[in-house]
Amino acid sequence: MNLVELYKRFKPSYYLSMRDLTIHVGMLSSTIYAMWYTKESYMSYALVPLLSLLHVKSLVILHDCGHNSFTPCKKLNYIIGTLLGINIFIPFSWTYDHLIHHKTSGNKTNNSFHKQNETIHHTFKDYYNMNIYSKNITKLLRIPCIYIIILPFISLFIIKFRLDTLSDKIIYNKYNISIYKILFDIIINHIWIIILYSYAYIQYPLSVLLSYSIDMAIFHNQHTFNKPYVKINKEWSKENSGLKGSSFIQVPSYLKFFTYGIEYHHIHHMVSSIPGYNLKEAHEYLEKTEPEFKNIVKLSMNDCYHNLWLTLYDEDADRYISFKEADDKIKND
């Protein structure tokens, strides 16, 4: 598979990016205005799910801008990503950390001080060696309604999108970006958060938090399924990290406008410079030309729901397992 030729065939386009951005900004601003106009009535709460889905799309576009794949222009990507990030309270500097994720996903001995799977925090051996109190706390925090709905406010809004990137630059010098640029991104985002909150109403932050929950559920399922792709550094490859270590989520057609191609995550991890609006075509092209595409991981909505209970990596069995499976395994030892 020639990845360079694949990129050339499906590279970013000014026309497609500006067309989609115009439609998205039009829908986003209209929905925000309608929510503000009806803020004194229950009708505004009915708009929260729609605005949340539009926020999901904003994050996907911001994410593409971070890969410099939304438009062909790096500066324009930065401007668009920064402005969209303000609406969802995510500084552009988050994308610097996300680029490391692409270099390490599935690589358990990477040299970047990065987890091979960012939503799997412990191995079975880690869990086995915990005391009873640590086990219970870990189980509590990984209950899906807590991990997917409640924790994103703390882990994403307060820590991941702000402190992580800054601390990783200071401690590990992970990025080629200067610390001043990271600080600028965070400060600009904070200034606008203060301004937005001065005029905001409860429905708006609710829509952002709901979008974080959707994002977290999607992100977990993009790399957490069985059989996993987890390799040591010398056996790991970027292409296989996409083909074997990233899923193709079967998103219902009526939601694809909002997910904006991120469900084709196997393509995205192979060639992250292909924009979201071209991933569907790239997938269909490769399905016809590449035999290995018969074996990509496809996840139904039901699969995605059940995968939320996969919380540990069992190194001996080379699979992700739930706490129940881990407890049964310990009991049978």
**pTM as predicted:** 0.93
The pLDDT of residue 119 is 95
State how far the Cα of 90 lies from the Cα of 120, in Å rounded to an integer: 23
Domain boundary assignment for the chain = 3-332
Helix, coil or strand: residue 297: strand
Sheet with 122-123: strands ordered across: 122-123, 312-314, 319-321
CA distance 330 to 148: 27
Q: What does the DSSP 8-state code read for residue 292?
A: G
Q: What does the pLDDT read at residue 293?
A: 85
* pLDDT value of residue 2: 82
Residue 199 is predicted with a pLDDT of 61
Cα 177 to Cα 183: distance, rounded to the nearest angstrom: 11
Which pLDDT does position 250 carry in this prediction? 97
Q: How many residues does the chain have?
A: 333
pLDDT of residue 159: 66
Identify the pLDDT of residue 262.
97
Residue-by-residue pLDDT tens, the chain, 333 positions: 688 899 999 999 999 999 999 999 999 999 999 998 998 889 999 999 999 999 999 999 999 999 999 999 999 999 999 999 988 989 999 999 899 999 999 999 998 878 999 999 999 999 999 999 999 999 999 999 999 988 877 766 666 666 778 877 888 787 888 888 888 888 888 776 676 666 667 888 889 989 999 999 999 999 999 999 999 999 999 999 999 999 999 999 999 999 999 999 999 999 999 999 999 999 999 999 988 888 899 999 999 999 999 999 999 999 999 999 999 999 987
How many helices (H) and strands (E) in the chain? Answer: 19, 5
Specify burial of residue 199 (Cβ count, 10 A radius: 0-12, 13-18, 19+): exposed
